[in-house]
Amino acid sequence: MSAARRPVALVTGGRRGIGRAACVALARKGFDILAADIAEEGVAETGAEVRMAGGGFRFRPLDVSRLEDHAAFLDAAWEDGGIDCLVNNAGVGALRRGDLLDVSPDSWDRAFGINARGSFFLTQAVARRMIEAGDPAAPRSIVFVSSANATLASPDRGEYCASKAAVSMLARVFALRLAEHGIAVHEVRPGVIRTDLTAPVAEAYTRRIAEGLSPIRRWGEAEDVGRAIALLASGELTFTTGDALHIDGGLHVGRL
């Protein structure tokens, strides 16, 4: 990586949880951080951790589902030097877990609007600018954070599963499109991770993990996912694109 300019990583949903862990891990890998989120609660804490890890930190508000806001956000980012890595981490679950037959259009549209539609069009806009910028001084990459539910079905949150399956496909189609421009595209597929999203069902998951839900019998932590994102973004894996990296304690491994 260039000594004159630290590469910049844009992390959506970057103020807490997996987003914060990704920001800190990327800073340790030599990135400065541009964090984006819909709220500012937790931003100061994230910034402090990033700076302690050696990275510069900026925050700008962004709701990825508001496509009309993408251009101005990216204009400002490129005025500050551009983006070398995009981490599509912003995401939401179902409005409520429950019977698949009771899923509402609002919950479906919210899951797809943020998880899939917002990520697709933000990636499209960032990729165009990366290509226009020409040869980079640092490795360029795009990372999609999907979920074990991209392949493992949970009928109590079907809209979330469907949206994350879509995210998984986005990683593959963008990998094919952008390989010729030297932009690697990766998918990180977390399993049961201790975050605000899993807090309402923490007791049930703790019991299931103890019973052998995943071969590695512990909760995943946000830092586990953050380190995986940073490794992929670092450019150290130079002959891979379009793959899914499972950070799930072996949950995805089929057993007979």
Q: What pLDDT is attached to residue 200?
A: 87
Check whether 112 has a pLDDT greater than 70.
yes
Residue 209 located in a structural domain:
yes
pLDDT category at 161 given cuts 50, 70, 90 is very high
Alpha helix segments (H runs only) across 54-179: 70-79, 105-111, 119-133, 158-178
- pTM comes to 0.96
2 in a structural domain = no
Q: So what's the pLDDT on residue 94?
A: 92
Q: Domain for residue 3, yes or no?
A: no
For residue 76, pLDDT beyond 80? yes
Average pLDDT over residues 8-34: 98
Question: What range does the domain containing 238 cover?
Answer: 8-247
Residue partners of 254: CB distance under 8 A and separation at least 6? none
CATH number at residue 210: 3.40.50.720
Evaluate whether 222 touches 198 at the Cβ level (below 8 Å).
no
The per-residue pLDDT for 256 is 86
User: What residues are labeled active site?
Assistant: 160
- Mean of the per-residue pLDDT values for the chain? 96
